[in-house]
Amino acid sequence: MAQRHAFVTGAGSGIGRAIALELSAAGLTVTLAGRRKAPLEAVGAEIEAASGSALVVSGFDVTNESSIAHGIESAIAASGDIAVLVNCAGEAPSAPFEKTDLATWNRVLAINLTGTFLVTQAALPAIRRAGNGRIVNVASTAGLTGYGYVAAYCASKHGVVGMTRALALELARTDVTVNAVCPGFTDTPLIDKAIDTITGKTGRTPDEARASLARANPQGRLVTPQEVADAVLWLASERATAITGQAIPVAGGEVLG
């Protein structure tokens, strides 16, 4: 995988950060894309300290076509055609269905689903040129089942899974594979926000709230970002050439089949 170029959205923290570090450790040059400059630069510094190569593309808004085009063009100019695209940018606000306003609904779908569509569409010509291209979308177990109080998030991630499967079939006779990883509750800043919401609404302590989320996993724990990154690295490798159109849970057995 050395000398290949990976483009990772949402790379400044959590799962995106872990994926970027893992791909770099495997020898890829990694473009770190996201809205906030400081976290991206911190991840870039980690990569460079480990003798890797990273490019920071800050101000990257997955809901804005001009921002996407500029970021991808800059990345290609600096590091060559994108061989591996990882769509990880996402948002997961929670509210009862009847209190989910249209602005929240539209924002979540714009970032999680339409953003994945726009970035993939913009990057696909370069991925085709690179050869043995890989597209990996970070969905969620929420894209395979339902959860209360996150209707917009569930809808967006179901959409990501559906789009993954459709594009995989369109590209099946090429050398580009398209897959999704579907993490369960993962120990990231998104979970920290969920815990804050639970404690604020239920009066439970943060430890109690965290334990309640961990119980959703039959292994009785939260998934780690590294475990998701390991799955992404496999899908990005030549060892996964026959794997396409899949939505792979990384969830300790929470979702089966």
Model confidence at 244: pLDDT above 80? yes
Give the SS3 label for residue 34.
coil
Mean pLDDT of 30-43: 98
Model confidence at 66: pLDDT above 80? yes
Instruction: Output DSSP code: residue 13.
Output: S
CA geometry: angle at 25 spanning 24 and 26, to 5°? 85
Model confidence at 208: pLDDT above 90? no
Whether 125 and 46 have beta carbons less than 8 Å apart is answered as no
Nearest CA-CA partner of 189 in 13, 5, 20: 13
Whole-angstrom Cα distance, residue 99 to residue 119? 30
Pairwise pLDDT comparison (95 vs 193), residue with the higher score: 95
User: How confident is the model at residue 201, as a pLDDT?
Assistant: 74
Mean pLDDT of 92-113: 96
Which residue type is seen at 237?
Answer: S
Model confidence at 158: pLDDT above 80? yes
List residues bridging with 249 in a β-sheet: 182
Spell out the domain ranges in the chain.
5-93+103-184+224-242, 185-222
Residue 67: CA atoms inside 13 Å, Cβ hemisphere, count? 14
Element (H, E) at 125: helix 115-130
147 is catalytic: no
Model confidence at 81: pLDDT above 70? yes
Tokens representing residue 74 in the block: 């800059």
Q: Active site residue: 140, 153, 157, 227, which one?
A: 153
- Percent of the chain whose predicted confidence (pLDDT) is above 90: 86
pTM confidence score: 0.93
Mean pLDDT of 172-199: 89
List residues bridging with 5 in a β-sheet: 29
User: How confident is the model at residue 145, as a pLDDT?
Assistant: 96
Indicate the CATH number for domain 5-93+103-184+224-242. Answer: 3.40.50.720
pLDDT, tens only, 37-62: 999 999 999 999 999 999 999 999 99
User: How confident is the model at residue 156, as a pLDDT?
Assistant: 98
Pairwise pLDDT comparison (91 vs 208), residue with the higher score: 91
Q: What is the DSSP string of 73-102?
A: HHHHHHH-S-SEEEE---------GGG--H
Tokens representing residue 67 in the block: 């921002």
pLDDT, tens only, 128-151: 999 999 999 999 999 999 999 999
